[in-house]
Structure 1
Amino acid sequence: MSQVGEFNPASDPYESRPTYYIGQHDSNRWEVLTDDQYRQVLSSGFNFVTAPITNQHFFQRVVDLYKEFLQEQEEWLEKRGITAGQRANPSMPGPIVPTLTDLDTSLYPSQIIGSLITYASPWIDLCSSNPHISSISRQVLNLEVAYANFCGARTIVIPGPRSDGSGPGVAQYARAIQEALQQVSRANLIIHLPMYREPGLEEKAETLSSIFNTDTTAEQDPSKDIDIFTSWDSWHTIRTVCEYSSRLFLALRIPRRVPEKALQERWFSEPLHFLTVDQTVFQLNRAGHPSLSKHHQTLINRYMRLKNSPWLILSDVGPSAEELTRIYKQKAIEYPTLTEAASKALAKERKTNKTGINDHVAYIKHLERQQLPYTAMETPALVSFQDWLQSPLQPLADNLESATYEVFEGDPVKYDQYESAIAEAMAEWKILKKPSALGTPETPYNPELVVAVAGAGRGPLVTRVIRAAESTGTQIQLWALEKNQNAFVYLLNKNKRDWNNRVTLVKTDMRGWTGPNPKDSPGTTTCKVDILVTELLGSFGDNELSPECLDGIQNHISRPYGISIPHSYTAHLSPISTPRIYADISSRVVSDPNAFDIPYVVRLFQLDFVAQKVPGHPRFQQAWEFIHPVEVNRADDFAEVHGKAIKYVNPGGGSMYGSSGTNEHNARHCHLTFVCPTRGVIHGLAGYFESVLYESEVTGSGKDPVEISILPDQIDRKSKDMISWFPIFFPLKKPLYFPQDTELEVSMWRQTDDTKVWYEWMVEVYAWVGPKQRNKVGASEMHSSRKVACLM
């Protein structure tokens, strides 16, 4: 048997893992590899290579251009008697970089251009405080990206700012990237940034600023603590200025020392395209081969679980251009002379390069094989749903299709939990000898129970009720209600084929059902239901109107002993950063002005939970709860006394504005406080739910409730691998930035006007400025889903 994490195709041919695509980058490379050199790199195990857009000739031409400008400027000042300390004329024209020539580049349109990762010049300085150098750098960048785009390049990597800070540098850089995006029509721009400012992790090339001694960047003080979030601050500025462009991505430099978990998760939520690993990050193991620490392995494996997993670029580990030329010439010697064949150097080199695979590539391939296989929650279908937005279902207003039901039925975990809850309820009914619906005043307890499944769909819960009754030896009269006439046809057939006509089927909306008629007394009035089973829950628990549906049928539950499964459910919230989803919603606003007021069902994956768990303020906080059964003021009861309520159709403020208020008991409000010790940005609120299907009624039984949960920190304990419900996402129209040591105040309302249900939400930011004082530093606008409300 293979060990955990060890790949053995013979043991399980169906196991699969994320695939690593490995590229090579040479920081000293000035020329695009020739076809022969390119083939040599691929034969050593790499999948792709980087290619400089311009060469050393162009670099020298730009340097000479600036030197000439400085000389001309000095001569101009001397002629006018202006000394260095006096102010020069700001209207003097600056240097203009001429267009590229064939001597400035070795990059041309070719069949392999699409597989080359083009790399912009690392010597430009877009952040320079010298206006002429920053202008030259911007001109060079525009020339390069435009030419690479012309050649057919689809990916252009641009070295990021060399430093962060509060000065104008990063803003200048961001503005230049925004302009560069306008220069290219199809190519993606990838900003190359370090995970944090670890010394030695920057580009090795000199910049124009350092060459001309105009570099004002302060040296990193080794004795000073490193603020590990400054690099992310720069990235946030860049992508904000670029309005979260769908063609702007990130290449992340992995440091020698892996940072704390909070920063890892922050970068995990960003649009990663490449992870770059420098030669200095690797360590030699006992056998003298390159390797990475366990922390590096964990980080890489974590990032590779993304649907669009980043590609790996190994920097300065592969053969240089000179080595590639030498290797090619060596392999071209088909018939070496006796002297060459006897050469110890040649023999040694051929022995050590027997496989031809680069040592670093071989190690990365080893890590690829050592990954844990995809889990039950990482099937191809589920991975495809990562961060894919879906509008919530309207189960009361719309009839679902068979394929939708089939998706729901593909989750055995949910139905196993339901069956356990039903079986436990039936077993305890016997133990407690509770009065039943078919009982009489003389004999309240009757071993035969009346069970109803409301909203039966295609019948999976009906099957589980029958199985629970058989496992506990319980006699039941089973009723199944379904309003979807198409699904009802399916139920009729299933009742004959699988259930032996043991189920009484009723095509009706559960809210209008008049109740069951006992089978042994068909002429009598309706009786009550002992156990009512429903699966009306949504991603937020109540967002598919489970409370409203149960209000219309729970009057048929026998009191006080009748049971509702589920018994209760709670909604939970947590503020999150999810740039990818925000960018997706932003692209929809043109066609749908309400895009930011829609709560989306989405399998949240590439995100950062910005709040931390502290005493009294957990990361996931309960918004509200619903418990069933409950006495309610039903609409038909209201009508009998007061007449039919008039529905006010103009925009209103809830149930007390032109409506009867019969659904007011299902309105909710919460105000939650989340603690954020590190600075960041949120794009919305993640919503989850938990439900107690059944809680033991036997005193002192010591049994845990039968529960289901989609809370990230509870799902494995309560309903592991359950996939029936994805979380819900409440977006913010504008990303909300917050400084460190802040508190996020989340307010949310569940509103109703007796015809529909909607949510309203807002977030406020408070920063602590003293031991007992905090100031409000930001807030979102009030959002409302009223225009896309769930219809009752």
Structure 2
Amino acid sequence: MASESEAGGFSFRGDYRENRPMFTLGYHDSKREEPLSELQYGYLLNQDFSVATTPITNSRFKSRVFKVVSDHLATLKANGEKGTSEATANRADPILLPLTPEDTGMFPSQAVNTYVAYTSPWIDLCSNDPVIANISRQVLNLEINYASWCGVKSIIITGPGRDASKDGGSQGIAQYSRAIQEALTIAPAITILIHIPMYREPPVGTQTETLSSLDAEKASKTTGGDIDIFTTWDSWHQIRSVCKYNPRLLVALKMPRVAPEKDLQNRWFCEPLHYLTFSPEVFQKNKAGYPSLTKNHQEIIFAYMRLKNAPWLLLCDVGPDVRHITDDGKDEKAPLTEADFPSLEEAHKPAFRVSTDSSVYCEYLRWLEGQQPPFSVLETPILTNFQDWLQSPLQPLSDNLESATYEVFENDAIKYDQYELAIAEALKEWSELKLPTSKPGVVVMAVAGSGRGPIVTKALQAAESTGVKVEMWAVEKNPNAYVYLLRQNAQKWGGKVNVIKTDMRAWKGPLISDSPETGPVYGKVDILISELLGSFGDNELSPECLDGIQHVLAKPHGISIPQSYTAHLSPIATPKLYTDISARAQTDPSAYDTPWVVSLFSLDFVAQRVPGHPRFQQAWEFSHPIPDSTLEAIAARRSGGVVGGTGGSMAGAAGANDHNSRFCHLTFVARTRGVTHGLAGYFESTLYEQKAGPNKGRKTEISIHPERIDAKSKDMVSWFPIFFPLKQPLYFPADTELEVSMWRQTDDTKVWYEWLVEAWTWVGPSTRVKVASSELCSSRKMACLM
């Protein structure tokens, strides 16, 4: 079963138009000193922009701050003092005076809350000079506080100028992170975006003058050598970790001139991207002389635009120039001349198109918008709404599902088509092998946990298509669904189905006869069908349920559909889910202990595909029916007939369900450094495997395994993955082996999971050391009740 949803009455595979993600364009002019006027803003809207940035302060304020810092540094130098940590403890840094009307052009207005403010890019929060770092922090706080008072809703802050893992920048990143944490506190209603490059490319052109330029001796130096493309992500990770994954802290990601390798693209894909920013050097000219992006850049944009909250595209210093539009409405742009118009010969060329510098970038991006692949079946608006949305796992034994929940399941045609195929193959093979039946001339089938009856319908269709005569039983404990089944039997199935209301584990089997002399006589079932699977295969207690009803299955030829299912794991980075779970934990202490059912999308699989260590690894398997010896052991334990007591079972239990406990220890390899927030869980199931004939061994399967779903059950949407969270993100260095230990535990009354993640790295040919470890996590408080 999929997880319960509040939605109902819709189809996952219904009509939907071939559409694509929409681009939202933004405008940023780094040379502006004043907010846009209403006419200028209106001009941008007419040019297809939806948002524009505005500076908070101007060059006068910059000059004032530079003079304060310059004078103070000169005084320190004259007095023989140092501006580093060696300075005397009683040195007093200057304190900036409040803003004046001459320092800013931003004032409260109806339009100001539509702007995105941009803080002064010339501050240096990462400076090793405590004076410069302190003044930079003061400037940031002044601007944040004032912009918040004016009514601004979001603010972009220039990212750190260097990274902790390069050039001894750990002190600077610590200071920067602390400053951002303070800014979030100063403006509790504002969203803050860190404008940071995807990776640190060699600088081109003239660099922005910063406060650190005033002290050339201590200004950070750019070193050559190889580029470590993960350093800026490292810096971002430290910033957001210090800020405790604050949901108001987002990323404005600078697109690089050269697209990086896929691992880094995937790493940023799972981060809270709000803007993708494009500076002039990112674009290149095509053969016609117009701006364009490389195929690699296009693929990055196309991938990021599939996110439910797709990032906006912010053009930085490219696109329209609005400075010629004055407050009185006059356009001061130079008048057009004959040179601005094409000749008749040029105008008749097919490739010619009249464009101006102010529009070509927008026109190109709108063209690029239409080049995206259309939405797939799995990207319908309804399914997209489920992306990265936490849902509590079902308790199918203790809870009765609502009709709307059943309806969601039933709209997945792929799953039921696979079930019908499996049932048809089983019936066909039963007939061809001339196997004995529980009832002369009739194959007895039962659907355990029938819900509203979709599997029953498929079973009847399979019997009709194969020409095999069947006797059909539908077993359901939900009293409301039982009423619906009776109605279905009367109106749709023509009375061909025997509907039974009971817990499947209490069902004694098909009633053959019932007389006062002999009492009720029960028969057996030849084919037992169920759809009890969860996102991890066994997490909705399919093993326990099928154990309880196996006594009705005929021997030795009885068939269980499904016949087996396997659980699979992979460690993932998913900051969004961790942020959401952290927010829930404020009121729900079990949030970190819950295995959440979630349509995972904004994630990064941190493990690589390595020989012997695949990205997705099998945790365990369950098969049905189980051996008779196991059933006998279960009965003996329940009756107290096992010599030696409970055999070490948990909580003093009899151990009747110990055969369904499991353990796995898996090793994943992470080539690049990163962080994991938990484990993604998936399942695969063999519904039926043919036993004889030319197709012996052919399987009818369903799967949500990311690498095999297309081959086994493409477009199946009944099950979302399961997510086992860690209480604290686990950071690991490059070339790390992530070892995952997981247990399926039981005490005869409930089932729960426990999981542990450890990071090991090699320090020699035969020696490893542990560099990180999670807590032992447990879902016992949220266990699935038997």
TM-score, normalised to structure 2, is 0.92
Contact 2:70 2:214 in 1 (8 A): no
Q: 1:491 to 1:357 in 2, by over 3 A?
A: farther
Aligned partners of 1:432 and 1:86: how far apart in 2? 86
| AA in 2 matched with 1:399 | N
Is 1:741 the counterpart of 2:741? The answer is: no
Task: Show the counterpart of 2:5.
Answer: none
| AA in 1 matched with 2:201 | E
Task: Show the counterpart of 1:442.
Answer: none
Q: Deviations over 1:53-77 (max 9, x none)?
A: 11111101101111222344455x2
Q: 1:84 to 1:119 in 2, by over 3 A?
A: closer
Is 1:97 the counterpart of 2:96? The answer is: yes
**Gap regions ≥5 residues in structure 1:** 1-11, 334-339, 440-445
Q: Deviations over 1:721-743 (max 9, x none)?
A: 11100000000001001000010
Contact 2:634 2:656 in 1 (8 A): no
Q: 1:427 to 1:280 in 2, by over 3 A?
A: same
Aligned partners of 1:87 and 1:628: how far apart in 2? 72
1:217 maps to which of 198, 203, 220? 220
Contact 2:196 2:252 in 1 (8 A): yes
| AA in 2 matched with 1:783 | C
| AA in 1 matched with 2:587 | S
Contact 1:201 1:253 in 2 (8 A): no
Is 1:296 the counterpart of 2:292? The answer is: no
Aligned partners of 1:707 and 1:533: how far apart in 2? 14
Aligned partners of 1:165 and 1:21: how far apart in 2? 33
Q: 1:717 to 1:519 in 2, by over 3 A?
A: farther
For structure 1, which segment, 769-778 or 736-745, has the greater mean C-alpha deviation from structure 2 after superposition? 769-778
Counterpart of 2:702 in 1: which secondary structure?
Answer: strand
Cα distance, 1:45 vs structure 2:
2.2
Task: Show the counterpart of 1:722.
Answer: 716
| AA in 2 matched with 1:761 | W
Aligned partners of 2:527 and 2:290: how far apart in 1? 66
Counterpart of 2:764 in 1: which secondary structure?
Answer: coil
Task: Show the counterpart of 1:504.
Answer: 498
- Percent of pairs identical after alignment? 56
1:23 maps to which of 17, 23, 26? 26
Task: Show the counterpart of 1:406.
Answer: 407
| AA in 2 matched with 1:150 | W
Q: 1:598 to 1:86 in 2, by over 3 A?
A: closer
Aligned partners of 1:634 and 1:402: how far apart in 2? 38
Q: Deviations over 1:692-751 (max 9, x none)?
A: 000111144256310000011111111011110000000000100100001011000000
**Gap regions ≥5 residues in structure 2:** 1-14, 348-352
1:63 maps to which of 46, 60, 66? 66
Task: Show the counterpart of 1:486.
Answer: 480
Cα distance, 1:436 vs structure 2:
1.5
Task: Show the counterpart of 2:428.
Answer: 427
Aligned partners of 2:415 and 2:84: how far apart in 1? 78
Is 1:570 the counterpart of 2:566? The answer is: yes
Cα distance, 1:42 vs structure 2:
2.0
Task: Show the counterpart of 2:264.
Answer: 263
CA RMSD of aligned residues (A): 2.7
Task: Show the counterpart of 2:274.
Answer: 273
Counterpart of 1:213 in 2: which secondary structure?
Answer: coil
Contact 1:683 1:731 in 2 (8 A): yes
Q: Deviations over 1:74-110 (max 9, x none)?
A: 55x28xxx89999764412111111111111111222
Q: 1:184 to 1:527 in 2, by over 3 A?
A: same
1:586 maps to which of 582, 587, 590? 582
Q: 1:469 to 1:51 in 2, by over 3 A?
A: same
Aligned partners of 1:172 and 1:105: how far apart in 2? 26
Q: Deviations over 1:335-391 (max 9, x none)?
A: xxxxx78x4357679x98778961001111111112122111011111111111111
Q: 1:419 to 1:87 in 2, by over 3 A?
A: closer
Task: Show the counterpart of 2:11.
Answer: none
Task: Give runs of aligned pairs for residues 433-582 of structure 1, distance below 5 A.
Answer: 433-439=434-440, 446=441, 448-518=442-512, 525-582=521-578
Aligned partners of 1:345 and 1:641: how far apart in 2? 100
Cα distance, 1:431 vs structure 2:
1.1
Contact 1:194 1:202 in 2 (8 A): no
| AA in 2 matched with 1:305 | R
Aligned partners of 2:338 and 2:685: how far apart in 1? 74
Aligned partners of 1:636 and 1:300: how far apart in 2? 56
Aligned partners of 1:474 and 1:296: how far apart in 2? 57
| AA in 1 matched with 2:152 | A
Contact 1:695 1:704 in 2 (8 A): yes
Task: Show the counterpart of 2:309.
Answer: 308
Q: 1:103 to 1:84 in 2, by over 3 A?
A: closer
| AA in 2 matched with 1:602 | V
Cα distance, 1:770 vs structure 2:
1.8
Q: 1:202 to 1:547 in 2, by over 3 A?
A: farther
Aligned residues between the structures? 755
| AA in 2 matched with 1:115 | T
Aligned partners of 1:545 and 1:282: how far apart in 2? 55
Contact 1:654 1:753 in 2 (8 A): no
| AA in 2 matched with 1:128 | S
Counterpart of 1:370 in 2: which secondary structure?
Answer: coil
For structure 1, which segment, 507-516 or 110-119, has the greater mean C-alpha deviation from structure 2 after superposition? 110-119
Contact 1:578 1:682 in 2 (8 A): yes
Aligned partners of 1:326 and 1:133: how far apart in 2? 38
1:186 maps to which of 180, 183, 189? 189
Aligned partners of 2:677 and 2:750: how far apart in 1? 26
Cα distance, 1:613 vs structure 2:
0.8
Contact 1:43 1:356 in 2 (8 A): no
Task: Show the counterpart of 1:706.
Answer: 700
Counterpart of 2:124 in 1: which secondary structure?
Answer: coil
Cα distance, 1:457 vs structure 2:
0.3
TM-score, normalised to structure 1, is 0.91
Aligned partners of 1:168 and 1:160: how far apart in 2? 15
Task: Show the counterpart of 2:318.
Answer: 317
